[in-house]
Structure 1
Amino acid sequence: MIDKKILLELDFYKTLSLIKDFTSSSATKKAIEAISPFDEFEEASRTLKEFEEMQEGRSLNILSFPDISELIERSKKEGVIFEPAELTQFLKVLEVLENISSSVEELLNFSFLSQRIKTILGTNLSIGNPKLLEILENTVDEEGNILDSASSYLKYIRKQIKNTEERIKQKLEEMLNRADIQIFLQDRFITQRNNRWVIPVRMDSKGQVRGVVHDVSRSGETAFIEPEEIIPLSKKREELLIEQRVEEIRILKEVSFEVHQISESLKRQFNLLVYLDKMLSIYRFSKKFNASVPQLTKEITINLINARHPLLMLTTEVVPLQLELKNKKVLVITGPNAGGKTVTIKTVGLLTAMALSGLPIPASSSSVIPFVRNIYVDLYHEGSIEEHLSSFASHIVTLKTILEGADSESLVLLDEIGTNTDPEEGSALACAILEELKNRGSLTFATTHLSKVKIFAATQEDIEIASMLFDEATMTPLYKLSIGSLTPSYALEVAKRYGFPENVIRRALELKGTQDREIYELMKELERVKKEYNERLEEVEKIKNKILAEKDKLEREIIAASENKKKIIEQAKKEAQEMLIKLKKEINFLYEEAKKADRKRLREISRKISELSKQFSSEKSEHQEKIDPGDFVKIKNLNLSGKVLTIEDGRAKIQTDSIQIETEISELEKVLSPNMHEKTKSLGQFVLTSEGSSPKYGEFLPEKLDIRGMRVDEALSIVERYLNELSLKDLSRGLIIHGIGKGVLRDSIREYLKEHPLVKAFTKGNPDEGGDAVTVVELK
């Protein structure tokens, strides 16, 4: 646990006071005063996440409410009776709870806030108590008075009291107007003394007005007398007042019992109200001081971006602090007096303590704060009068405590380390302490004016050096921290600027010597070289990033080009497929036309088919086999075969089984002599058979078409082509062999021939032809 004295030195409690200004209740102020750094990382991290969720879903509007924590503790006791003013405090709290109930329901949708709310409320997550709220609203008002609506009997009694008082006033008015009474009066008015209605009578005439004297004026000249005529009415009024008090006590008992019944639930709800008001106050603080939730890490590293000390923000425009320690854990800060060194390390300590307490810090949300379990501070070196310690002795006692407790989970802040003693010995001791803290892994920030400490820090690989920037032209601090730089303290220069005697400045320079100045000049040159190196390194890094960016760009373009190529190929394939289908349809149409055309028309169609066939040709093969007249060839892509009749000027005339086609030699593929007994399903071909003969390719034997054993649909297709071939050859008769079997194929063929446009008539074959197993067809 971090010592409260340390938090006090870091202005932690002053910062909490800034948050307290935004609260709606004294109970919330107490809750904020109790805020302190958490001992566990998970608790601090969870509290910061709760605040982040509060920022996202904040719809709360909490009005001012009293602190009823003590009243709630009293309400737990049996038979407790609250005064009307105390019940009014319960009323105000219940009104606020009722007002925020819907907002609490929204907050239950958030992960971390929901867990916190459930922890506070327990099993019952409902907010407010409508029944008790209604009772209290009918019982007491905002000023703590019991209302007439508290009970019908109370209302009746109060009406009777009012009527009685009206009668008393009426009688007294009548007496004031009587001539026999007026002569004894000091003044003409009605008033009350000791809760009795009276009239003012001159002291020398008090025996002339019969009644009871209840008071005398300060001057002694007036007696306040209750005339005996109204005494019966006054007694009645007293009795009614007693009855009123009895009824009021009864009402207070009943209402207090209702409060007692829900005391535990009310306590939980009040705790939730205080928690939400605390979070809302922190939110308002964050808006005013531009605070945000930092990244809390278990690693001992720190990165403050645009960090500011909140107390300084109240009085001046603060130069934001930029501070980052990457691989080093010790930072030694140098620079002139009043340059901001002490403010820098106090800002580091305060913001760390705030983040560990689950509070947003006045810095960028990208800032990184380490979770440390202890913070050690040596900021002030005044001597202790009680212990009769010198400044250095006090300094040593503090450093001893730090060295006894600091470890790898500690933040150490040392202001002007090694001062208040001999510079040589103080410097040596300071360097040893810094080295020890470095070896322990403590996150350490130290300020110094000692030259040897500066040089030591600048030459240590694991210690970072920094300085508060100073404008040498105007001799004024810039309040900016520069990591990696080393500057002198400019004490003599500042003294000169403020009018120090010239001879004193000159003598001081003589006494100071040139060694320190030479060291600073060397360090300055080193810093210049380092800066130049870093700048070139940045340029190299930029070039490297640019090259990597170009590489990424080219890789993306290659991938895009590859994808585009795939798309183009797919599109080309699709278009080629569509073209292929279109061309096949056109060729089939031409073949159908050819069936009906004369021989002159056939030549034209042949040329057309040849032209179309070119569109099917793929890339030329690297090796083209020699083709001569008489060779059997296949026309690529058309799947047509035939015999080469002639070759002239790179073009060949092909005789297929039905027509002649001219085409480029490059479109031909040499094949072996085909077997005409083999059934093919090529475009424009069908099967013809002739008993006892093996026809040569190109010969046509139309006597018989044998379709035995075929399916009906297959046979009909062959018969269609057979009829077309007979028509193209100008033959008027054909014979189809289908067999008898069950007669299905025969009947289907003959039914088909009935409707065919080329068929004039058909009959079954003669006995020598096969009888009913064949069908003889006569064409038109």
Structure 2
Amino acid sequence: MIEKRVLQDLDFYKILSLIEEFSSSPATKKAIQQIRPFESVEAVEKSLKEFADLKNFLDGGGQIPLSSFPDISNLIDKAKREGVFFEVSELTGFLKILKLLDRVSKFVEELFQFPFLGKKIKDILGGHLSIGQPYILERLEDTVDEEGNILDTASSMLKYLRKQRKTTEERIKNKLEEIINRPDVSVFLQDRFITKRNNRWVIPVRMDSKGQVAGIVHDVSRSGETAFIEPAEITNLSKKLDELLIEERVEEIRILKELSNEIHQVNESLQKEFNLLVYLDKLFSIYRFSQKFNAEVPKIKEEICIRLLNARHPLLMLSKDKVVPLDFELRNKKVLLITGPNAGGKTVTLKTIGLLTLMALSGLPIPTSPSSQIPFVKTIYVDLYHEGSIEEHLSSFASHILTLKEIVERANFQSLVLLDEIGTNTDPEEGSALACAILEELRDKEVFTFATTHLSKVKLFVASEQGMEIASMLFDEKMMKPLYKLSLGSLTPSYALEVAKKYGFPEKLIKKAYKLKGTQDKEIYELMKELERVKTEYEKKLNETERIKNILLSEKETLEKEILAVEEKKRKSMESARQEAQNMLAKLRKEINILYEEAKKADRQKLKEISRKISEISKKFIPEEAKQIPEIHIGDSVKIRTLNLYGKVLSIEDERAKIRTDTAQIEADIKDLDKLEAEHAEEKQGKIKYPEKTDELIIQKLDIRGLRVDEAIPLIERFLNKLLLNEAEQGIIIHGIGKGVLRDFVRDYLKDHPAVKSFYKGSPDEGGDAVTVIQPR
């Protein structure tokens, strides 16, 4: 929890007041004043992302037509009670809110597409996605206006009663006009007009003649010279008018009770929808603030480091046309000591760091570049104003020490500490020693600390310590004026004498001060300047090395991406080719199966034609290879490459050979044949076992163990055709188990084969999963 005093010292409440100026309702102003830093980094990021969603919506041309609306929080609380009764003036508040809800509802629906803002709206509405109360709105519009009047359209009875009242009033006025114009009455009148007194219609009669006009005196003028009399002739009409007024009021009360009860029924929904209006108005106010101050959403990091780019203090932006932005980054260091001249911007820098941190942790955009980074801290401690306390008998130094004591005791690794002019208001030697001890303690406790000082010993201490960084506000020595720019790693004097000289301080005193000051500090600063120069050169070379490294890494990454792209393209190409080959093979298999079916029923001439067709089909799918025509003789064992079949040559004529296979005689071009060596001819004929025919069930077996898939396909085809030709009732393919590749292929191949009625895994006696049993068609 960050203390109220810290929020006050860092001008946080002033920022909330600036945001308030853009709000549309007193309820929104209250909500804005309740904005505080969140307790977890998740809550901070969630709030900033909700704002970012709204900003993207509005920057993209979206709009939310919010206008001024009343705070009806008390009315909604009142609506929760049974038997609640609202006066007309209270109902107008509901009317204004429901009209606004009706107007913004369609625009709010567009916000559901934004992930974080959409979820927040759903959470506020409690799961209800519809917005507004159209029935209640219609009833209110028919009943009251925004000026607090009950309309004639509230009910047919009210309309009738009001009409009767107006008619009666007209009759009364007409009768009075007639009376004051009669000679027997006009002589007693003070003036010739009719008016109302105590809600009764009367005429002005001279006081000395009031007994001459029959009627009731309802009032007397201040001078006492005029009596306002209701003539007896209109008494009955006045009585009727009174009755009508009473009936009208009774009807109005009935209508208000009815409407009050209807509002009571929907009070929970009204509460959620009013909360949504306030939330959207608050977010919209923050958006308008961000536009005015060029505020952006920073990055929030749990890592204790800070990066502020183009950062400005909002209040400084209001008071100055041009504000010098703050640019710096602090990593791997826990303490930053800021030095520099008086009025050079040290305190403003501290307050800017503290205020922007508070704003970001409260879910507010800050006047910086969007690449700025703010650390998530749970507590912030400040010591900015060293003022004494007369009431508590404390000097300014004592007050300063008490604040520092509290900070040192309470601050931890999740704290941000801001110390202005540490170690001042006492002896410089002792103050410097105390300041160094405090900064060392805060560093050891890993407290993120920013401090300012004019004390030379503190500057030199920080410049030589690990985990600490020195910085200075730059100063133009020629023009003798501050530049308000922060430079990390630099150490500059306070230029107190130079500034005094610029502002006309006596020259005699300036010279005496220079003599008393001595040259030791100046020599130290000169050495520090030289060290800074060397450091700057080193950093330039380091940055150049880093730049070259980044270029090489970028080129390496580009080459790696190109290699991956080529490999991916190659993989896709191979996959496409494989798929195409499979499709071609499947088509070829279907066409050959059809031809085989025809071959079973064909004569010799038809077989010749079918063989030619098979050869033509094969040529469509298998490219011709440029090779010498082999020497084929009658009786040679050959392989028909285009069909992947084996057989013996029966005859040769016109470069075509007639070949006997296991299933039929086929003709093929000699160039499509491969001659088999004698020792392999028998092996390649296939491992089909043909049992003797008995009265028992005919079972044939094909052993393809050890073959590749492409070698097994023609053998399986021959085997299936053999089963059909022999009218076998069952066949067994022996493929083994192994890795399951050949087994899975066989079963997949048999699924849609026209020659196969069904198939299944073998029984334990038949060979189990190592065989597949086939039932031919």
Task: Compute the TM-score of the two structures, normalised by the length of structure 2.
Answer: 0.72
The answer to whether structure 1 residue 65 and structure 2 residue 54 are counterparts is no
Number of aligned positions between the proteins = 607
Cα distance in 2 for residues equivalent to 1:447 and 1:718:
100
* Partner residue, 1:135: 139
Cα distance in 1 for residues equivalent to 2:136 and 2:156:
19
Cα distance in 1 for residues equivalent to 2:122 and 2:251:
41
Partner amino acid, structure 1, of 2:88: P
Alignment CA distance shift 1:440-1:559 (3 Å): closer
| Aligned-pair CA distance for 1:544 | 4.3
Contact 2:659–2:665 (CA<8 Å) still a contact in 1?
Answer: no
User: For the aligned residues, what is the CA RMSD?
Assistant: 3.4
| Aligned-pair CA distance for 1:542 | 3.6
| Aligned-pair CA distance for 1:125 | 3.3
Q: Which residue, out of 504, 527, 530, partners 1:525?
A: 530
* Partner residue, 1:254: 258
| Aligned-pair CA distance for 1:502 | 0.9
Q: Which residue, out of 343, 363, 366, partners 2:368?
A: 363
The answer to whether structure 1 residue 75 and structure 2 residue 67 are counterparts is no
Alignment CA distance shift 1:232-1:540 (3 Å): same
SS in 1 for 2:319: coil
Alignment CA distance shift 1:356-1:714 (3 Å): same
Task: Compute the TM-score of the two structures, normalised by the length of structure 1.
Answer: 0.72
Alignment CA distance shift 1:565-1:114 (3 Å): closer
Deviation string, structure 1 residues 393-448 (Cα, Å, up to 9, x no partner): 00011111101110000000001111111111111111111111111111111011
Alignment CA distance shift 1:151-1:301 (3 Å): same
Cα distance in 1 for residues equivalent to 2:36 and 2:434:
33
| Aligned-pair CA distance for 1:369 | 0.9
* Partner residue, 1:697: none
SS in 2 for 1:482: strand
* Partner residue, 1:153: 157
SS in 2 for 1:323: strand
Partner amino acid, structure 1, of 2:381: Y
Partner amino acid, structure 2, of 1:506: K
The answer to whether structure 1 residue 499 and structure 2 residue 499 are counterparts is no
* Partner residue, 2:16: 16
* Partner residue, 1:282: 286
**Who wins on radius of gyration, i.e. which is larger?**
1
Q: How does 1:45-444 map to 2 (within 5 A)?
A: 45-58=45-58, 59-316=63-320, 317-444=322-449
| Aligned-pair CA distance for 1:455 | 1.1
| Aligned-pair CA distance for 1:211 | 3.5
Alignment CA distance shift 1:281-1:713 (3 Å): same
| Aligned-pair CA distance for 1:162 | 0.8
| Aligned-pair CA distance for 1:178 | 3.7
Q: How does 1:575-654 map to 2 (within 5 A)?
A: 639=628
Alignment CA distance shift 1:86-1:709 (3 Å): closer
Alignment CA distance shift 1:519-1:79 (3 Å): same
Q: How does 1:427-506 map to 2 (within 5 A)?
A: 427-506=432-511
Cα distance in 2 for residues equivalent to 1:708 and 1:503:
129
* Partner residue, 1:43: 43
SS in 2 for 1:272: helix
SS in 2 for 1:383: coil
| Aligned-pair CA distance for 1:678 | 6.9
Contact 2:659–2:666 (CA<8 Å) still a contact in 1?
Answer: no
Partner amino acid, structure 2, of 1:520: Y
* Partner residue, 1:645: none
| Aligned-pair CA distance for 1:532 | 2.1
Deviation string, structure 1 residues 145-184 (Cα, Å, up to 9, x no partner): 1111111111111111111111222223333434454444
Alignment CA distance shift 1:171-1:465 (3 Å): same
SS in 2 for 1:382: coil
Cα distance in 2 for residues equivalent to 1:63 and 1:518:
65
Alignment CA distance shift 1:381-1:221 (3 Å): farther
Partner amino acid, structure 2, of 1:159: K
| Aligned-pair CA distance for 1:219 | 4.4
Cα distance in 2 for residues equivalent to 1:50 and 1:560:
38
| Aligned-pair CA distance for 1:240 | 1.2
Deviation string, structure 1 residues 190-239 (Cα, Å, up to 9, x no partner): 33222222334444554444433333444444443333333332222222
Cα distance in 1 for residues equivalent to 2:4 and 2:453:
26
| Aligned-pair CA distance for 1:323 | 2.1
Alignment CA distance shift 1:241-1:439 (3 Å): same
| Aligned-pair CA distance for 1:255 | 0.7
SS in 2 for 1:314: helix
Cα distance in 1 for residues equivalent to 2:256 and 2:151:
12
Alignment CA distance shift 1:9-1:561 (3 Å): closer
Cα distance in 2 for residues equivalent to 1:197 and 1:688:
136
| Aligned-pair CA distance for 1:385 | 2.0
Partner amino acid, structure 2, of 1:228: A
| Aligned-pair CA distance for 1:113 | 2.5
Alignment CA distance shift 1:522-1:235 (3 Å): same
Cα distance in 2 for residues equivalent to 1:302 and 1:391:
31
Alignment CA distance shift 1:679-1:315 (3 Å): same
